[in-house]
Amino acid sequence: MKEPKTLQEAIIHFANPDNCLTYVAAHRWPNGVECPTCGRKDVSYLANQNKWQCKSAHAKRQFTAKVGTIFEDSPLGLEKWLPAVWLIATAKNGISSCEIARSLDVTQKTAWFMLHRIRKAMASGSLMKMGGNGGEVEADETFIGGKARNMHKNVHERRITGQGQSFCDKTVVMGLLERGGEIRTQVIPDRQKHTLQPIVRQHVEAGSALYTDEMGGYKGLDREYLHQIIDHAVQYVNGRIHTNGLENFWSLLKRGINGTYVSVEPFHLFRYLDEQVFRYNYRATKKHPRTDSDRFSAVLSQVAGRRLTYAELTGKVGETVN
């Protein structure tokens, strides 16, 4: 099966609906086609309908490659969806719905919806603990500004970058980064001990080296981790004790939000985080020289089991999008 290497190759390759189906089927079912309802593998292919049929007599026994994926129920063809995935998975600082709308000749509302569905496929489902085997993990939080829409530019910038005095209308984001490995983030209600520490325990192997700033929420973790603290009032780096990996990620994140989006509402922030985290975790490194083609293929392998309806996305029931 062909793996397009560039945007141009992707557009040409996926202009053919058969190529789209082959690609999506191969990525969502890497071990062969499976019935999305019952899991049976001895399904038959109905060539003239581009569908498979399960041998068990249950509802929805005929299915397409789109069933149960982020593409399900979308009236848009895969020849629009796949180039959209390519654009989003490979954009360095993110891409706006206006840009997608222009590039693919769809409405902005449709592009916005596509962007959110694709972000859902970009979310990491990893349950492996970080650290362990001498791994080093940084933990840190940042503030992302809330009601930035109608604010004066200076105020807007100060709030978005977290340099302002008041944090009351901000969303707190916590990050964990394994040096040389992956990053995970989540939106949290506050920076209290009872919020931060269970997250550390859930994601980081006990006994790992853990680096944080002097924030009180991390106090006491030295009983379970090799916890070392950098006091930012004194210095930013002390040998291996620093949180610079996360600081760099936060500035990338904020540059992305400032440069690409007018504002990110707190309700949607976690999806934007998923998108940026995906890009970070699939970046090219010495150990893993990943390409745009690899990033695209990684999203496609996660499209199944992640449907997102318009009502879920907006809280509005009864509206549809096309």
Which spans of this chain sit near Zn ion (rule: CB under 5 A)? 35, 37-38, 40, 54, 56
Amino acid (1-letter code) at residue 268: H
Nearest approach, Cβ of residue 28 and Zn ion (Å):
15
What is the length of the chain?
322
Q: Give the span between the Cα atoms of 205 and 133, in whole angstroms.
A: 9
- Taking the C-alpha atoms of residue 13 and residue 7, their distance in angstroms, rounded to an integer, is 10
Nearer Cβ to Zn ion (54/176): 54
Nearer to Zn ion, 37 or 50 (CB): 37
Strand partners, 56: none
> E strands of 78-200, at which residues?
136-145, 170-178, 183-188
Q: Are 232 and 213 a contacting pair, CB within 8 Å? A: yes
Q: 32 or 207, CB closer to Zn ion?
A: 32
Quote the least distance from Cβ 66 to Zn ion, whole Å.
16
Q: Least separation, in Å, of the C-beta of 239 and Zn ion?
A: 58
CB-nearer residue toward Zn ion: 57 or 234: 57
d(CA 160, CA 157): 5
How near is the Cβ of 232 to Zn ion at its closest, in Å? Answer: 57
Q: What is the distance between the alpha carbons of residues 69 and 21, in angstroms, rounded to a whole number?
A: 13
How many helices and strands, by DSSP H and E, does the chain display? 11, 8
Smaller CB separation from Zn ion, 38 or 262: 38
Tell me the closest approach of the beta carbon of residue 202 to Zn ion, in angstroms: 35
